[in-house]
Structure 1
Amino acid sequence: MADKHFRGVFTALVTPMGPDGRINDQALTRLVEAQIEAGVHGLVPCGTTGEAATMSHAEHIHVVEVVTRAVAGRVPVLAGAGSNATREAIELARACKELGVSATLQVVPYYNKPPQDGLIRHFEAIADAVALPIILYNVPGRTVTNMLPATVAHLAQHENIVGIKDATGDLHVAAQLRELCGPDFALMSGDDFTLLPFLATGGDGVISVVSNPAPALLVSLYDLFCAGKLDEARALHFRQLRLTRLLFSDPNPIAVKAAMHMLGLSGLDVRSPLRPLNLEGELASGLRACLRELALLD
C-alpha cells in the first residue's frame, strides 16, 4: 500500500479572492475548516485550481502559510510548488518546507517542452535539494509534455519522490504506473471523471476539484470503495458526474469558483486572463440546480 499520508480525498483548494484580486485570508481559513469538517484526507493549496500560475512568489508562499496554519497538523498539506524553471521550483519547495508542509506537488514543466531525460533531471534536482516528499503532477492537457510511465518509474526510485497525481484520464496509464512503480508509490487521480475506475485500477485516492463544493460526497465514495461496497460507490460516482461535467464546462477554476461563491465559501472572482462566470447564464443556472439536487445548497 502507498504511504498512508497520501491516500484518500485531497482537495485542490480554490483561492478565495476579492474583485481587486487580493487573497481573502479569512475566507481561505473558513474553507479549510469546512473541508476538514467534511472529512477530507488532505488539502492542496496553490495547484491549478488555486490559480498559482497567476500568483507572485510572495502570494504563493502566503497562501501556503495561511492554509498550513489553519490546518494545524490535522491533515497533510500537499503544497503546489512547481515551476517550469528548476531553480524556481527548488526555491518554492524550500519555502514550503520551512512552513511545515507534508509534501510538495511538482508539475511537469510547462511551455519548455522538455524531453523525458530533462524531466528526470528537473525532478531529481528538486528531490536532491529539498528533503521533503514530492508528489509528481502529470497534466499534459496543460503542460503539453506528457511524462511517460517509464519516466515516472525511474523517478520513483528516488527516496523523496513518493507518488504522482495523474491527470491524463487514461486508465491504461494508471495501470502501467501501478505495475511499474509498485504498491508503495502513491497513485492519486487528477481526474474526477474517472475516479471510481481509477481506484479500481489500483489508485490510492484523488486530488479533486469536485471536493471543493462536495467534500463529503467524495469522501463517502472513497470510503465505500475501500469497504468493498462497490454498488453504492458506483451510485455515488454517477451522482457526482453531472457536477463534474458542469465544473469543467469552463476552464478550471471558473465554474468551481462560482459554485463556491453560491455556497458562500469563496468570492466569485478569478484572475485575468480568466474571467468570472456569468451568474445569470445557463451554466450558472445548471450549477445551482445541481448543488440543490445534491443537497449542498438550499
Structure 2
Amino acid sequence: MTTPAPAPAPVPRTRAPFGRALCAMVTPFTEAGTLDLDGAQRLADRLVTEGCEGLVLSGTTGESPTTSDDEKTALVRAVREAVGGRAPVVAGVGSFDTRHTVELALAAEKAGADGLLVVTPYYSRPPQDAVEAHFLDVADACGLPLALYDIPGRTGTRIEPETMIRLARHPRIVAVKDCAYDLLGTQKVLARTDLAYYAGCEEHVLALYAVGGAGYVSTVANVVPRRLRAILDAFDAGDTAGAARLQRLAVPLIELMMASGLPGTVTAKALLGALGLPSGPVRAPLRPAGRETADGLLAAYERLVAG
C-alpha cells in the first residue's frame, strides 16, 4: 500500500497586521448624494459577517477624492461602531499635501481607526527622497501603523523598491497595498523586509500570497467576500490546486469589475445596488454604470456564486 505524500509545508506568512482578507469598502451615499452612515454600518457589518477580516475606508474605491474631511472622520466613527472589535478598520488618509495628510491621519486616529492607508502624493510627482520624507512625516506624527499605497497608475509616482526598503525601517510603517504591477520588485522587498504586502489587484491575490504576501485589499470583496477569502483559506490548508481553481473562477467577475474601462467604484456600486445592498450613487465626476453593464455584472456574479 502506498503511503500518501505529506501535505506541502505552508509558505511562511509575513505578518498580517490588519488580517488577510480586507475589503476596500465603497462609501454609501443617499440618493440625494449625502453620506449614508446607516448604509455604511449595514454594509460593514455584512462584510465582516461574510468573512472580511478587515475594512479599508476612504481609499480609491471609497471615493476619497470627493468626500470631505468631516465625512471621512464620520465614516470611521460609524464603521468602528458597527464592527466593534471584530475587524480592524484602516482609514485612507493620503493626499497630495503632506500637511493635510497628517491632519487626516490624526483625525482618523482620534475617530477610532486601527491603521492608516497612505497613498503616494499624486499630481506633483515628487522624487523618491520627497516621497520617502512624506511617509516618514506621517508615520512620525501619529501613533497608528501605516500601510503605504503604491499605485503609480493613478498617482504618477512609484514607491521604488529601494525606497520601500528604507521606509520599512520605521516601526510604524508595517504594510503595503501593492498596485504597482511589479511582482519582481515586490519580491525584492519581501526578501529584505518584514513588510506585510497586500495585493491591491485581484488577479494577483493568489500569486502574491504564494510568495509570502499577507493577503489582499479588494474592491471585488464588496460583493463576493467569501469567494475571495476562500482562495486564501484553500492555500493555507495546503490545497494549492483548489486555491488556483477558485482564483480562476473569480477571473470573469474580476475582469468585468476592474478591467472593463470603468472604475471599480462604479462597477461595485452598480452590483451592490442590483443586489439590494447599501451603495447609492457615485459622486461626480464619476458617472453610474448603464443598465447593460449592471446586467452583465449581475450575470457574472450569479455564475460565480453558483459555481
Interval of TM-score (by shorter of Structure 1 and Structure 2) = over 0.9
Shift in CA distance, 115/45, structure 1 to aligned 2, threshold 3 Å: same
> Which secondary structure does the structure 2 equivalent of 1:277 belong to?
coil
Q: Which amino acid aligns with 2:236?
A: C
Q: Which amino acid aligns with 1:130?
A: C
Partner of 2:232: 222
Conserved in 1, the CA contact under 8 Å of 2:76 and 2:108? yes
Q: Which amino acid aligns with 1:186?
A: A
Q: 1:147 aligns with which of 133, 150, 159?
A: 159
Q: Following TM superposition, by how much is the alpha carbon of 1:285 offset from its aligned partner in structure 2, in angstroms? A: 2.2
Runs of 4+ in 1 over 4 A off after TM superposition: none
Q: Following TM superposition, by how much is the alpha carbon of 1:238 offset from its aligned partner in structure 2, in angstroms? A: 0.5
Q: Following TM superposition, by how much is the alpha carbon of 1:29 offset from its aligned partner in structure 2, in angstroms? A: 0.9
Are 1:178 and 2:190 matched, yes or no? yes
Q: Following TM superposition, by how much is the alpha carbon of 1:264 offset from its aligned partner in structure 2, in angstroms? A: 1.2
Conserved in 2, the CA contact under 8 Å of 1:150 and 1:180? no
Q: Following TM superposition, by how much is the alpha carbon of 1:176 offset from its aligned partner in structure 2, in angstroms? A: 1.5
> Which secondary structure does the structure 1 equivalent of 2:91 belong to?
strand
Are 1:166 and 2:178 matched, yes or no? yes
Conserved in 2, the CA contact under 8 Å of 1:7 and 1:188? no
Q: Following TM superposition, by how much is the alpha carbon of 1:52 offset from its aligned partner in structure 2, in angstroms? A: 0.8
Query: For residues 63-212 of structure 1, what are the structure 2 equivalents within 5 Å?
Result: 63-181=75-193, 184-212=194-222
Partner of 1:9: 21
Q: Which amino acid aligns with 1:203?
A: G
Which of the pair has more CA radius of gyration? Answer: 2
Conserved in 2, the CA contact under 8 Å of 1:85 and 1:109? yes
Partner of 1:293: 303
Q: 2:55 aligns with which of 27, 33, 43?
A: 43
CA deviations over 1:243-284 (Å, ceiling 9, x no partner)? 1111121122111110111111123410000000112x2x22
Q: Which amino acid aligns with 2:222?
A: N
Conserved in 1, the CA contact under 8 Å of 2:15 and 2:214? no
Partners of 1:2 and 1:103 in 2: CA distance = 17
Are 1:254 and 2:266 matched, yes or no? yes
> Which secondary structure does the structure 2 equivalent of 1:276 belong to?
coil
Conserved in 2, the CA contact under 8 Å of 1:268 and 1:277? no
Partner of 2:255: 245
Conserved in 2, the CA contact under 8 Å of 1:149 and 1:176? yes
Q: Which amino acid aligns with 2:238?
A: G
> Which secondary structure does the structure 1 equivalent of 2:59 belong to?
coil
Conserved in 1, the CA contact under 8 Å of 2:115 and 2:144? yes
Query: For residues 49-60 of structure 1, what are the structure 2 equivalents within 5 Å?
Result: 49-60=61-72
Partners of 1:293 and 1:252 in 2: CA distance = 19
Gaps of 5+ in 2: 1-12
Partners of 2:203 and 2:165 in 1: CA distance = 25
Deviating more after overlay: 261-270 vs 233-242: 261-270
Gaps of 5+ in 1: none
Partners of 1:2 and 1:276 in 2: CA distance = 38
Partner of 2:281: 269
CA deviations over 1:105-158 (Å, ceiling 9, x no partner)? 000001010100001110000111111100000001100101101101100000
Q: TM-score, normalised by structure 1?
A: 0.95
> Alignment RMSD, CA only?
1.3
Q: Following TM superposition, by how much is the alpha carbon of 1:223 offset from its aligned partner in structure 2, in angstroms? A: 0.7
Conserved in 2, the CA contact under 8 Å of 1:268 and 1:276? no
Aligned length: 292
Are 1:278 and 2:290 matched, yes or no? yes
Q: Percent same amino acid among aligned pairs? A: 38
